[in-house]
Amino acid sequence: MSTVILLTLTGLGLAALYFLIASGLSLVFGLAGVLNFAHGLFLSVGAYATWWAEPHWGLAVAVPVGIAAGAATGALVEVVLIRPLYKRPTEQVLVTVGLSLAGVALLQSVWGADPRTFPRPAWASEVTTIGSAQVPDDRFLLIGTAVVVLLALLTFLHRTRYGLIIRAGVENRDMVSALGIDVRRAFTLVFTIGGALAGTAGVLGGMYFGSVSPGQGASLLIFAFIVVVIGGLGSVTGSAVAAVVVGLLQQFVNYYGAAGAGDVSVVALLALVLLLRPSGLARTAVTA
């Protein structure tokens, strides 16, 4: 029983990371049609910014710095590199792939390839006893943050004008323009939000793994992409549900099956979903 509790909470913690990355990825693709392979870079930038800022100003300042760095990177990438290429999707993909490789190389040249020890709040290193299980408190940090982000995103999408524009744009960008709305501004906004969420994932991932390394973003990104496809492109709720499924599946299969079987099972799940429900769990790309 204690193993099941621990696996569940660890799976949900991982799901929280996947969700934070996937929701931004999903909105960016759903609205702007951009397959953003540089999304993992936003995560790494956020993580390194926090890691760098913490010795200077402490964690309370360093965390917002990391999130802001992710957001700024997202906005900058959209404005400088993606925007000139909206009519050329192939070049766009190449640019994001190139950027993610260059970004990893840059981080490596500045701070080295070795993992750096990542700071975390003291309480996150404690454990809480649930039933017979000793659950590390960082799991609750991850899960709690993801739940707050999910609620905040849904409120934003359903209660604000920009949220309305994004939901409509995911369905039909051209029609949003034909209503007199500058949909490109919404593109910049989703990149910024996606960057902030990826930065958050970078910070939390650093705390969870206890370290940060240049390639961390890229490896999480692979699973986030799978979550996006399973959840349905452009759907935030779909991303959340798919992240939970993927996180739990991975944890349980890795524990009870052979080593690495968890990752294989996630890919198998992806294939199954594509076979049975090609447009993902959310089916219609409605940003609900």
Partner 1 sequence: MILRVRDLSVRLGGSHILQGVTFDVPPSGVTALLGRNGVGKTTTLRAVLGEVPATGSVEFGGDPVLGRPTHKLVRSGLGYVPEDRCVFGGLTVAENLRLAVRGADPDYDTVHELFPELRARAGQRAGTLSGGQQQMVAIARVLLNRNRLLLVDEPTKGLAPAVVSAVAAVLSRVAEQVPILLVEQNLAVVRRLAAGAVVLEAGQVAWTGAASDLLGDAGRTRTLLGVGRA
* Contact residues: partner 1, CB under 8 A: 164-165, 167-168, 171-172, 174-183, 284, 286-288
**CB closer to partner 1, 128 vs 172:** 172
The CA distance from 245 to 59, in Å, is: 31
**CB closer to partner 1, 196 vs 236:** 236
Smallest gap from Cβ 170 to partner 1, in A, equals: 8
DSSP letter at 85 equals G
**CB closer to partner 1, 52 vs 86:** 86
**CB closer to partner 1, 117 vs 158:** 158
Smallest gap from Cβ 71 to partner 1, in A, equals: 25
The CA distance from 4 to 133, in Å, is: 9
- Provide the CB-side half-sphere exposure for 115 (13 A, CA): 12
Smallest gap from Cβ 221 to partner 1, in A, equals: 27
Query: In terms of DSSP H, where are the helices of the chain?
Result: 2-32, 39-57, 59-77, 89-111, 138-159, 161-171, 173-177, 183-209, 216-231, 236-256, 261-276
Report which residue type is found at 280: G
Token pair belonging to 193: 């939000």
The CA distance from 191 to 221, in Å, is: 16
Smallest gap from Cβ 165 to partner 1, in A, equals: 7
Closest CA to 138 of 75, 268, 146, 179: 146
For 121, residues 6+ apart whose C-beta sits below 8 A from its C-beta are 59, 141, 207
Smallest gap from Cβ 76 to partner 1, in A, equals: 22
**CB closer to partner 1, 84 vs 257:** 84
Smallest gap from Cβ 186 to partner 1, in A, equals: 11
**CB closer to partner 1, 105 vs 175:** 175
DSSP letter at 31 equals H
Smallest gap from Cβ 175 to partner 1, in A, equals: 4
Phi, psi of 117 (to 5 degrees): -65, 130
Report which residue type is found at 111: W
Phi, psi of 221 (to 5 degrees): -60, -35
**CB closer to partner 1, 85 vs 133:** 85
